[in-house]
Structure 1
């Protein structure tokens, strides 16, 4: 029986996940179909009931705005997903004559790997733009890189419940600031992770450009369409390294492929190469 997987989110038509996953499965020689399903938070419970009644599912990728809502739709939550309260991956395991759904989070590994391959050092002075579920994963990634304190810059400091809860669980101290006057903090950081939607960082990018100062750190801009973002362009002009969000998407997808196929060492450099080719992403040497 051919297996199937999908990426869930709203909107979802722009997603590069199908191209990444299908390229990996073709290289591995496994028969897994992978599609994009547009579903809102309100319709998620009905979709998950439908999925539970169908045979052949091996995995679901979960994107905005469903990463927190999916917590309530799985049988078990594991690893850092439990700590963060954010699920971006659902795998299916044989259990008691049927299967159980397991929620996990591969965003953290995706961010860590993307930053390491771009040259991010240990114990970075880290800044995160945004306060939602992806920002929570970014705080966890900076913790894994050795940061004890993370600066979080948001438009509304009152809307930071997710990232605060994640930091408390991880034992990371937060310095939360609003956008006003944040440009100098951004420019001086070793690592900046923007989790803001496309163009939402344009105003801050203009402020950084107006400083006319160097930006020597590493910037990961999770938004990858359109690319380059204004923030990425300004950062590169200042001499810093820029990591496109597509690269984070790649490395979190690599972890999902391992979970969905049950393959470990087989998901190697050759598989990553074809995944890069499928979305037009240049592979970094490491």
Structure 2
């Protein structure tokens, strides 16, 4: 009796813009390491207007999707179910298509941040600081709610952003205080600093890094290192990078989509490092 060939399965990352995404590199590396020769992972330029049609077209060959901006909230009305983690920040970066065709939304950014910190030995801190208040800041705040026992201070540029962060703090049940960006140098003395800002936004703070910094989690990965991360490392502080986050959240996606646990973290990281070095 001839053995049946494994069924081809599909996954992809959607977003706009999407050409820069490292997700295909990470997921394909995982498939190679796991021997999933019939699996494919692609990228598709999809905006909010095109998203409903794409999701409606997912058939039984699809295992799931990775979602990046601007789709993390736009996808929610298209789902059959959303996890508590994703609901806590109203952001879905992972869509799983179940065997019975249901579409379930999850957020692996939050546990991915926690896992990246734990890999660097950060299990719990007494206080923390967040630089910025954009889309990533709410996920960072949710992650900090799991590792920070005390006050979290968010340094922001406007009263509107401060109000948004305070609202997220209330929703997540964390002890949050906001401060003006002009005082951001004070943040660098915290036991854990999470920089969620765009490229270049923290460059001026590099000169304010203390002589004995603790831990910096900078969510950027390209370009890398940022000026802040480079100075932090030079002074002997621990640095967690955006690539660490990207890999850890992708590990969780691979596990959910394929059912293989644990996903090959080292192989995925090496593939990501090689891809970034080649840019």
Q: Same fold by TM (over 0.5)?
A: yes
Go from structure 1 to structure 2 and tell me whether the alpha carbon gap of 1:163 and 1:89 turns closer, same or farther (over 3 Å shift).
farther
Go from structure 1 to structure 2 and tell me whether the alpha carbon gap of 1:11 and 1:241 turns closer, same or farther (over 3 Å shift).
same
Q: Is the 8 A contact 1:41 1:69 kept in 2?
A: yes
- Identify the residue that residue 182 of structure 1 maps to in structure 2: 184
Post-superposition shift, 1:160?
A: 5.2
1:40 aligns with 2:47: yes
Query: Could you list the runs of 5+ residues in structure 1 that have no partner in the other structure?
Result: 282-286
Q: Which of residues 153, 156, 174 is equivalent to 2:155?
A: 153
Q: Deviation per CA, 1:137-169: give whole Å up to 9, x if none.
A: 111111111334311122223035664443222
Q: Is the 8 A contact 2:132 2:195 kept in 1?
A: yes
SS of 1:158's equivalent in the other structure is helix
Structure 2 Cα separation of the partners of residues 149 and 213 of structure 1: 20
- Identify the residue that residue 102 of structure 2 maps to in structure 1: 100
1:71 aligns with 2:76: yes
- Identify the residue that residue 275 of structure 1 maps to in structure 2: 268
SS of 2:239's equivalent in the other structure is strand
Structure 2 Cα separation of the partners of residues 86 and 79 of structure 1: 11
Q: Deviation per CA, 1:92-148: give whole Å up to 9, x if none.
A: 1123xxx01100111111111111122224234211122233211111111111334
- Identify the residue that residue 8 of structure 1 maps to in structure 2: 14
**More deviation, 42-51/247-256:** 42-51
SS of 1:58's equivalent in the other structure is strand
Q: Is the 8 A contact 1:128 1:194 kept in 2?
A: yes
- Identify the residue that residue 254 of structure 2 maps to in structure 1: 257
TM-score (ref. length: structure 2): 0.88
Q: Which of residues 218, 221, 227 is equivalent to 1:221?
A: 218
- Identify the residue that residue 111 of structure 2 maps to in structure 1: 109
The total of aligned residue pairs comes to 267
Q: Is the 8 A contact 2:108 2:250 kept in 1?
A: yes
Go from structure 1 to structure 2 and tell me whether the alpha carbon gap of 1:107 and 1:238 turns closer, same or farther (over 3 Å shift).
same
SS of 1:159's equivalent in the other structure is helix
After superposing on structure 2, the runs of 4+ consecutive aligned residues of structure 1 that deviate more than 6 Å are none
Query: Could you list the runs of 5+ residues in structure 2 that have no partner in the other structure?
Result: 1-6, 275-279
Structure 1 Cα separation of the partners of residues 226 and 184 of structure 2: 18
Q: Deviation per CA, 1:245-274: give whole Å up to 9, x if none.
A: 00111011110011001223x43xxx1121
Q: Is the 8 A contact 1:128 1:195 kept in 2?
A: yes
Q: Deviation per CA, 1:59-100: give whole Å up to 9, x if none.
A: 1111122212222221110121112211111101123xxx01
Structure 1 Cα separation of the partners of residues 79 and 108 of structure 2: 16
**More deviation, 54-63/15-24:** 54-63
SS of 2:121's equivalent in the other structure is coil
Q: Deviation per CA, 1:38-67: give whole Å up to 9, x if none.
A: 22233322322333xx34111111112221
- Identify the residue that residue 240 of structure 2 maps to in structure 1: 243
TM-score (ref. length: structure 1): 0.86
Structure 2 Cα separation of the partners of residues 165 and 86 of structure 1: 15
